């Protein structure tokens, strides 16, 4: 396969498994790529033997110059980034000037990501999604996955969870909630789903039930911030004694889908993809 078949890709890499999957596909396709890695965010093993640069959050000019030098045409922003406090962020002059111009319209994660995409595309890059590289098979299908099904009580919790998550998402707060016996045990905010599950493990009510509901926000910029679940999500659910996982069908990424289904089957957990539009 010729290199000229694919535009050169810039991979702005956070944590998690997705950056490695993107790199693996690029290597398989002989697609040229350059990685922007962030100190204390990106796994150092990810960039070994691949063209890359390290920078700090806020060194935007350095990253853009590097990508332009590599004749990058498309950019993918993939993997979670732990948000620093304003005091920890050390912006370069370019970033400081950009923030001064755009800060008034940044009210949360979604508006920030939209502004970053707009800035990157103003420099001639095209921002694409993980599905553009890995295909839609990453996304959760609709229906029950595996051999364990939600009970009628679980379905009531799922319905409530989607209502609550929709309201939270519309306020750009979070993507996930945990519901048990029609009680809201916890909602996701800046801490993320892993911390939400840890927090709610001690809040579990006596008896059965307990479901993690995860979905896209109504206004979510899915090119760069699509919700993701994986085997670790299920392990936390199982350790906490919860019943299962309900995710938005065609909206949430499932990492290692077959491995997730096998784990759920072995540990009496259900996984269900729900069409939030009904």
| Domain limit, last residue, from 90, 110, 134 | 134
Tell me the pLDDT of the chain (278 aa) as tens digits: 344 589 999 999 998 889 999 999 999 999 999 999 998 899 999 999 999 999 988 899 999 999 999 999 999 999 888 776 666 677 889 888 887 887 756 666 677 788 889 999 999 999 999 999 988 888 999 999 999 999 999 999 999 999 999 999 888 888 999 999 999 999 998 888 999 999 999 999 998 889 999 999 888 878 888 899 999 999 999 999 999 999 999 999 998 899 999 999 999 999 999 997 65
Max CA pair span of the chain: 60
Parallel/antiparallel/unpaired status of strands 33-38 and 176-180: unpaired
168 and 40 in a common domain = no
Give the model's pLDDT for residue 57. Answer: 87
183 and 122 in a common domain = no
Distance of CA 250 to the CA centre of its chain: 14
Contact 63, 41 (CB under 8 A): no
Q: Is 205 exposed, middle or buried, given 0-12, 13-18 or 19+ CB atoms closer than 10 A?
A: exposed
160 and 58 in a common domain = no
| Domain limit, last residue, from 134, 164, 186 | 134
Contact 271, 237 (CB under 8 A): no
Say how many domains are in the chain: 2
Residue 85, domain extent: 3-134
Residues 6+ apart with CB under 8 A from 101: none
CATH number, domain containing residue 225 = 3.40.140.80
Q: What is the pTM of this model?
A: 0.84
Give the model's pLDDT for residue 96. Answer: 85
Q: Is 175 exposed, middle or buried, given 0-12, 13-18 or 19+ CB atoms closer than 10 A?
A: buried
7 and 129 in a common domain = yes
Tokens describing residue 175: 């993507």
160 and 143 in a common domain = yes
C-alpha closest to that of 42 among 27, 25, 56, 26:
56
Parallel/antiparallel/unpaired status of strands 244-248 and 270-274: parallel
181 and 146 in a common domain = yes
8 and 130 in a common domain = yes
Positive or negative: CA dihedral 123, 124, 130, 131: positive
Give the model's pLDDT for residue 88. Answer: 63
141 and 92 in a common domain = no
Positive or negative: CA dihedral 185, 190, 193, 196: negative
Write out the E strands in the chain. Answer: 9-13, 33-38, 52-55, 74-78, 126-128, 143-145, 176-180, 183-187, 211-214, 228-229, 244-248, 253-254, 270-274
CATH number, domain containing residue 92 = 3.40.50.20
Residue with tokens 């332009």: 68
| Domain limit, last residue, from 107, 134, 161 | 134
102 and 182 in a common domain = no
Give the model's pLDDT for residue 95. Answer: 85
Give the model's pLDDT for residue 98. Answer: 83
69 and 110 in a common domain = yes
223 and 106 in a common domain = no
Strand order of the sheet with strand 143-145?
143-145, 270-274, 244-248, 211-214, 176-180, 183-187
141 and 269 in a common domain = yes
């Amino acid at each position: 396969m010729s290199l000229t078949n694919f535009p050169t890709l810039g991979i702005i890499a956070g944590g998690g498994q997705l950056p490695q999957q993107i790199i693996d596909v690029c290597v398989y396709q002989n697609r040229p790529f350059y990685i922007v890695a962030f100190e204390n965010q990106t796994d150092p093993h990810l960039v070994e033997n691949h063209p890359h640069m390290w920078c700090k959050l806020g060194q935007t000019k350095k990253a853009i110059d590097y990508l332009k030098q590599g004749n990058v045409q498309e950019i993918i922003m993939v993997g979670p980034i732990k948000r620093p406090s304003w005091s920890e962020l050390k912006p370069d002059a370019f970033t400081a000037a950009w923030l001064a111009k755009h800060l008034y319209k940044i009210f949360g994660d979604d508006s920030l990501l939209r502004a970053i995409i707009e800035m990157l595309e103003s420099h001639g890059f095209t921002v694409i999604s993980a599905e553009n590289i890995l295909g839609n098979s990453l996304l959760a299908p609709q229906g029950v996955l595996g051999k364990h099904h939600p009970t009628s009580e679980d379905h009531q919790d799922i319905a409530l969870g989607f209502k609550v998550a929709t309201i939270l998402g519309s306020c750009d707060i979070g993507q996930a909630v945990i519901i048990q016996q029609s009680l809201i045990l916890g909602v996701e905010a800046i801490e993320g789903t892993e911390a939400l599950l840890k927090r709610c493990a001690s809040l579990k009510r006596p008896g059965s039930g307990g479901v993690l509901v995860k979905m896209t926000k109504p206004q979510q910029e899915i090119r760069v911030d699509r919700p993701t679940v994986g085997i670790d999500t299920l392990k936390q659910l199982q350790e906490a004694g919860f019943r299962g996982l309900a995710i938005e069908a065609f909206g949430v990424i499932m990492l290692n889908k077959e491995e997730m289904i096998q784990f759920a089957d072995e540990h009496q957990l259900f996984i269900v993809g729900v069409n939030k539009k009904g």
